[in-house]
Amino acid sequence: MARKRMCPASIVVLLASTAASVGFAAEVEAYGTTLARYWNQSYPDLSKNRYVPLTQFVGIDATGLGDTPWSLHLFGWGKTDLADQSSPGGKGEGDLTFGYLQYRAPKANAEVQLGRFAAQGAAGLEMVNGLSARADLRGGFTFAFFGGKPVIYDPVGAPQAAPRDFIAGGRLAWRAARYGEIGVSYLQDGTAPKDQPGQPILEDRSRKLLGGDLRLSPHASFDISGRVIYNQKKEDPLSATSKNARLAGQDYAMSWKVTRTIQLSGTYIERNFKDYYAGTNLPALFRQIETEKYKAHSGLLSFGISGPLQVNVDYRKARREGNGDSTRAGAEFRMTSERLKLKSGLAYHRVTATDVPLTGGTVAFYSLSHSEARLWLMHDGGRYFLSLDAVSYSFDDENNPMLNGESKSYLGVASLGFRPGKRVTISGDVSYGMNPLYKKEVRGLLRLDFRFGVGAKGGGK
C-alpha cells in the first residue's frame, strides 16, 4: 500500500506558521536527537543483512506566544537508509509525532489543544488530529473532551478496512479533595461500514467503549484505583450472546506505603478477548474468541523507595484460559550513589508456564518457561558518562518452535558519552548479542542530542 505523504503546501504552511509562532514566543526551546546506526544481522539460513539508517528527531516548544497563554509544540522524525531497508515503511520515511497549539488558562486548569495530539482520559491513549479541551469545574467536577480524525498508520499489506472517519471521547469526573475520585468516560472510534452492492465487504474496525473509574485514598499512604471498560459496539442480533454492553476489561491497583521507605502494592486485571479486541486491525492475531479470558493478579513489595538502596520483590500469577497458568516471580536490586555518581541495577526473574499444545509439529507440547537476568550500571561524571547493560534469557525447552533450537539469548550494550557544552551531548553505543532470530547481532550507534533555548521542563526530565 502506498504511503501517504504530506503535500508540499501543508509543509509550507506548517513551516510558515511555526516560524511566525516562534518569532512571537516569549520562551522557545528546540531539541532533537540525531542517530546514525549500523548493524549486521546473520540469520539461521546463513543470509546476512547490513543496515545503516540515519534518523533525525526534532522538536520545538514555543510558549507565551504574543505574551498570551498560547503555546506551540512540534515533534517529529525522518529517516533514510544508506544500505538495506531497515523498516517496513521504506528506505525513507518520516512522521509528525505531534504538533499542536495549546491554550492554558490561569484558572481552573483549563486547557485547549488544537492540532495533532495524544488524547488521554477516555478509554486509552489515542493520537488525534483535532481538538481537545479540559477544565476543572466548581464543586470538584472535572471534564475532558476530544474529537477529530484519528491518526492512521497504514498497515503494510493489511486487508482494506472501512475508513476511520472520526474519533471522539470524553471523561466527566468528580473529585473529593484528598479522598478520591469517580469518573465516567466514553470513546467512539469510527463507524461501522455499510455494505454497498458490487463493492468488497469492509471489515468493521470501529470501537464504542464506555468506561468507569474510581480512586479511593482514605489516607495519604493508601490508594486504591479501578477502571472498567465495556464494549458497546452493536453485535449481530442473531448472535446467541448478543447484549448491549459487555465487559471488555477491568483493572484494579492498590498501593500502601507501610513506612516512608516500604511500599506494598498489588494489581488485578481481567480481559475478555471477544470484547476487548473488538475493533482490532489484526483479527488474525488478536482473536475475538467468545470464551477466552485473561486474568492476572500481581504483588510488588519495595524496600527503600526513596533511598539510595532499593529492593523490589514482585510476583504475578496469570491465567489465560486457552493456554493455562503462568507465574512470574523475581527481584530487582537498585543502587544510587551520589558520591560515586553511579546508578546500578541487578534483576532476576523466573517465568513458569503450563506447556502449550503444538498443532502439526514434531512435538505435542512445548514450554514457555524461562529465566531472565539483567545487570546494568551508569556513571555520570558531568563531562563524560558511560553505561553498561547486559540482559540474558535462558529457555527451558529448545523444542519451542519460536526458538529455532536455541535455548539461550543474550545482549550486551556499552555506551560512552561526552558533553562538549551544556546544550549538546555526543554518545556512542556498541551492542553484541545472540538470539533465536539472529544468530549473531552486532550494532553500533552514534547519538547527538541537543537542546537550545529556555524552558526545559523539570530540568530536562
Among residue numbers 45 through 84, which ones bind another protein (CB under 8 A)?
A: 55, 59, 61, 63, 73, 75, 77, 79
Minimum distance, C-beta of residue 164 to another protein, in the bound complex (Å)? 7
Minimum distance, C-beta of residue 198 to another protein, in the bound complex (Å)? 26
Of 349, 340, 352, 410, nearest to 378 (Cα)? 340
Strand partners, 411: 391, 433
In the bound state with another protein, the residue whose beta carbon lies nearer, of 67 and 198, is 67
Residue 393 binds to another protein (criterion: CB under 8 A): yes
In the bound state with another protein, the residue whose beta carbon lies nearer, of 107 and 194, is 107
- For residue 347, which amino acid is it? A
What part of residues 297-316 is at the interface with another protein (CB under 8 A)? 300, 302, 305-306, 310, 312
In the bound state with another protein, the residue whose beta carbon lies nearer, of 156 and 424, is 156
In the bound state with another protein, the residue whose beta carbon lies nearer, of 12 and 282, is 282
Neighbours of 184 (CB within 10 A): 13
Residue 235 binds to another protein (criterion: CB under 8 A): no
Instruction: Show the cell assigned to 156.
Output: 503494510
Minimum distance, C-beta of residue 282 to another protein, in the bound complex (Å)? 5
Residue 284 binds to another protein (criterion: CB under 8 A): yes
In the bound state with another protein, the residue whose beta carbon lies nearer, of 12 and 158, is 158
Residue 16 to residue 74: CA distance in whole angstroms: 13
Instruction: Show the cell assigned to 79.
Output: 529517516
Residue 67 to residue 81: CA distance in whole angstroms: 42
Instruction: Show the cell assigned to 163.
Output: 475508513
Beta-carbon contacts of 162 under 8 Å, excluding residues fewer than 6 positions away, are: 190, 191, 192, 193, 202, 203, 204, 205, 206
Minimum distance, C-beta of residue 62 to another protein, in the bound complex (Å)? 12
Of 99, 105, 116, 16, nearest to 60 (Cα)? 99
Residue 230 binds to another protein (criterion: CB under 8 A): no
DSSP 330-389: EEEEEEEETTTTEEEEEEEEEEEE--EE-TTSSSSEE---EEEEEEEEEEE-SSEEEEEE
What part of residues 175-204 is at the interface with another protein (CB under 8 A)? 175-178, 181, 183, 186, 188-189
Phi, psi of 274 (to 5 degrees): -60, -45
Residue 291 binds to another protein (criterion: CB under 8 A): no
Among 10, 68, 85, 109, interactor with another protein by CB under 8 A: 109
Residue 296 binds to another protein (criterion: CB under 8 A): yes
Phi, psi of 74 (to 5 degrees): -130, 140
Coil, strand or helix at 17: helix
What part of residues 133-172 is at the interface with another protein (CB under 8 A)? 134-138, 140, 143, 145, 147, 150-158, 164, 168, 170-171
How remote is the C-alpha of 405 from its chain's centroid? 31
Among 7, 236, 338, 422, interactor with another protein by CB under 8 A: 338
Binding mask 237-276 for another protein (x = CB under 8 A): ------------x-x-x-x-x-----x-x-x---x-x--x
Residue count, binding to another protein (CB under 8 A): 155
What part of residues 1-30 is at the interface with another protein (CB under 8 A)? none
Residue 376 binds to another protein (criterion: CB under 8 A): yes
Residue 107 binds to another protein (criterion: CB under 8 A): yes
Residue 250 to residue 271: CA distance in whole angstroms: 7
Residue 447 to residue 426: CA distance in whole angstroms: 6
